[in-house]
Chain A
Amino acid sequence: MKMKVALTGNEAVAQAMKQINPDVVAAYPITPQTEIVQFFSSFVANGQVDTEFVTVESEHSAMSATVGASAAGARAMTATSANGLALMWEVLYIAASNRLPIVMPVVNRALSAPINIHCDHSDSMGARDSGWIQLYSENAQEAYDNLIQAVKIAENPKVLLPVMVMMDGFIISHALENLEVIGDEDVKKFVGEYKPDYYLLNVKNPVTFGPLDLQDFYFEHKRQQAEAMENAKEVILEVGKEFGKISGRNYGFFEKYKLDDAEMAVVVMNSAAGTAKDVVDELRAQGKKAGLLKLRVFRPFPHKEIAEALKGVKAIGVMDRAETFSDFGGPMFAPIRAAMYDLNAGNTIVDYIYGLGGRDVVPQDIKKVFEDLEAIVNKGKYDKLVTYLGVRE
């Protein structure tokens, strides 16, 4: 069963959480994620879910309690944004390293300081090496779809890793959108029942989580964790296909938009992809070979597939909504450039940092990117490796 509805991003995510009906949710409110916690509280208060809702006193405790619940054998979720995610940082690693299949929506917001409640990706990008799978969503539909798939990806025995699902703060979280939701029963069947092999509440087979692990074993455990992340690639694709069967919407590592014969393309994540697609359409109407790659899966990083998809593109503009303060562009730039290295295909790759602290990115900004890329195609070289888009300097 499918149904067309008008929901904000936060409503769509809360709706997905309701349908997933996790055993435990431990969460703390933070703008712009707050509504998710509020909606979910009302589901609990009205008996629409079976969840034990733990109203923790901080995000650090949100992730700590979620780790406890997941290790205990429950399907456990939380949600956060920005500084909340930063406060969880220590426990994010512990969740992943204990191989706990926790699922968490992250509503992207700029990290302090200065304090700013609007969108950029500095929060989730800061957690990119924490061992979590990261799925990014262009709109409310994708956020809803990704969250449901996340449960199945996380709990796959070959994976057993936590998953965070991103959507842009305010731009998506608070904007009303028409989307299609799946029936409760279909979601229930899709996510299935969580049956862990090892869990704290199994009194017949007690287990130890989080022992002291020194020089003799720690490295092997990290190697296993890396393998789980590698395994996640195949599982993400399988789950994406399976989800297509119940929703009609198929998911892979990324979306290629008019990319196959493109000479110039942007690589972009989340809501700005929508704006960029409009610009690509406009350029295509002018006969220009413009294209776009919208990355959905950032962890694991589908380096081979990205390289293959971008191989024939002469000029590539990576669009990063976060800074790394490395003097080498944003967090997507270096890995995409590195992914292209072995092909030796002569692509020129430059970076654009845009939209920090919720600064609007409008079609003119993206047109400027394509103008640069066109010049690179013509000249065969770039003028500027890293450009700050739409900033006064």
Chain B
Amino acid sequence: MATLKELSKKEEILTGGHRLCAGCGHGITVRQVLSAVDDPVVVGVATGCLEVATTIYPYTAWKCSFIHNAFENAAATISGVEAAYRALKKKGKIKENIKFVAFGGDGGTYDIGLQSLSGAMERGHNMVYVCVDNGAYMNTGIQRSSATPMGADTTTSPAGKVIPGKQQYRKDLTAIMAEHHIPYVAQASPANWQDLYKKAKKAFEVDGPAFLNVMSPCPRGWRYNTPDIVKILKLAYETRYWPLYEVENGKWKLTYKPKKRVPVEEWLKLQGRFKHLFTDENRHLIDELQAEVDRRWEILLERCGEKE
């Protein structure tokens, strides 16, 4: 695998000058994913922060061809681009090998775009879909999504006097995508760049659809000190809230095994969105979230053949 030094010499596809916030995960994630592509690439992006911050007409931060269609249809759109590529390649009108990737936030992926994503994956297009998961609708001002952690304070699941934040646990989208039995599915984090790079490389190389779910923190929505982004990302997988694993041709594999048990509380306490949980009254919610993290971890271990 390429060294960080080698990768740093590669021409960036998403260049500087975009208007993503300081301490946002999207820029880091996209650059790491695209560092794994050697062929020319066409990028599709769902409506969201990544799109509005990188293509403000008449400027663009993208060196490659780019299409934004709408919020819920990045997967369908790129599937159409890929179908056009197959048609034109067959006719000899396109000579180059081109890769196709769609990026969507958790809103555009877990929620409003789930049908479009499921359809595109089932049809077997040779494309990569990357969810940059920041766990809420950040672009419209931090509303809860089905990826929002239980207990989080968002503008549509506010921590109020009666209801202390989001009531539901997050949807396990990575597992849902794995159940599509596509060639490659993985969950990753830009804080473990080698792991993400390898996964992106595999995703681009497989013949058929691949899905990457990448945690991509939002300083506004999560309310953390921006330089702490990597620390927060690391704690997410150390606490097993966001395990790093892959499902390659149906085989589940943990790609990172935390050495010791770190309570999820360690991850929660760095983020303002969970502040209200650290009271006598709400403390039990932390315990409940911990129990759910443990339960899902056990299921994952079983799937990965890590249990005795």
A residues in contact (CB < 8 Å) with B = 23-24, 26, 50-52, 54-58, 60-61, 64-74, 76, 90-91, 94, 200-203, 206-214, 217
Contact = CB atoms under 8 A, between A and B. Distances in A.
B39 to A, nearest CB: 9
Contacts of B122: 57
B21 interface: no
Contact of A61 (B40, B42, B73): B73
25 contacts: A23-B84, A23-B87, A24-B87, A50-B91, A52-B84, A54-B83, A58-B116, A61-B76, A61-B79, A61-B120, A64-B80, A65-B80, A68-B44, A68-B76, A68-B80, A72-B80, A73-B93, A90-B70, A201-B81, A201-B85, A201-B88, A202-B65, A206-B65, A208-B65, A211-B60
Contacts of B120: 61
A91 B116 CA distance: 13
Contact of B119 (A56, A67, A70): A56
B78 interface: yes
Contacts of A94: 69-70
A202 B93 CA distance: 10
A67 B73 CA distance: 10
B87 A201 contact: no
Nearest to B116: A61
B115 A50 contact: no
B67 to A, nearest CB: 4
Interface in B48-81: 51-52, 55-58, 60, 62-70, 72-73, 76-81
A47 to B, nearest CB: 12
A60 B51 contact: no
Contact of B65 (A23, A201, A214): A201
Given A52-B84, A60-B115, A68-B78, 16 more contacts: A50-B87, A52-B86, A57-B122, A60-B116, A61-B116, A68-B77, A68-B80, A68-B82, A69-B83, A200-B67, A201-B85, A202-B65, A210-B68, A211-B66, A211-B68, A213-B57
B161 interface: no
B88 to A, nearest CB: 6
B121 to A, nearest CB: 10
B171 interface: no
A91 B60 CA distance: 22
A57 B180 CA distance: 14
Interface residues of B, number: 47
B123 interface: yes
A23 B84 CA distance: 7
A203 B88 CA distance: 13
Nearest to A26: B80
B56 A212 contact: yes
A71 B83 contact: no
B84 A203 contact: no
A67 B69 contact: yes
A144 to B, nearest CB: 24
Contact of A201 (B42, B63, B69): B42
Interface string B225-242: 000000000000000000
Nearest to B73: A64
B11 interface: no
A66 B80 CA distance: 6
A387 B90 CA distance: 56
Contacts of B291: none
B96 interface: yes
A263 to B, nearest CB: 51
Contacts of B66: 200, 206-209, 211
Given A24-B83, A72-B84, A209-B68, A203 B96 contact: yes
Given A54-B79, A201-B84, A68 B69 contact: yes
A206 B42 CA distance: 9
A359 to B, nearest CB: 34
Interface in B184-215: none
A66 B81 CA distance: 8
Nearest to A66: B80
A301 B155 CA distance: 46
A201 B98 contact: yes
Nearest to B120: A61
B42 A67 contact: no
Contacts of A55: 123
B223 to A, nearest CB: 26
A200 B102 CA distance: 14
Interface in B105-152: 115-116, 118-120, 122-123
A51 B77 CA distance: 17
Contact of A217 (B57, B76, B81, B83): B57
Contacts of A212: 51-52, 55-57
Contact of A211 (B55, B64, B93): B55
A83 B169 CA distance: 34
A209 B67 contact: yes
A390 B271 CA distance: 66
B94 interface: yes
A213 B59 CA distance: 10
Contacts of A68: 44, 67, 69, 76-84
A66 B83 CA distance: 9
A26 B119 CA distance: 12
B56 A214 contact: yes
A70 B88 CA distance: 12
B69 A57 contact: no
**In the complex, the 8 A-B pairs of residues with the closest C-beta atoms, listed nearest first:** A68-B80, A65-B80, A57-B119, A72-B84, A74-B84, A210-B68, A64-B73, A61-B76
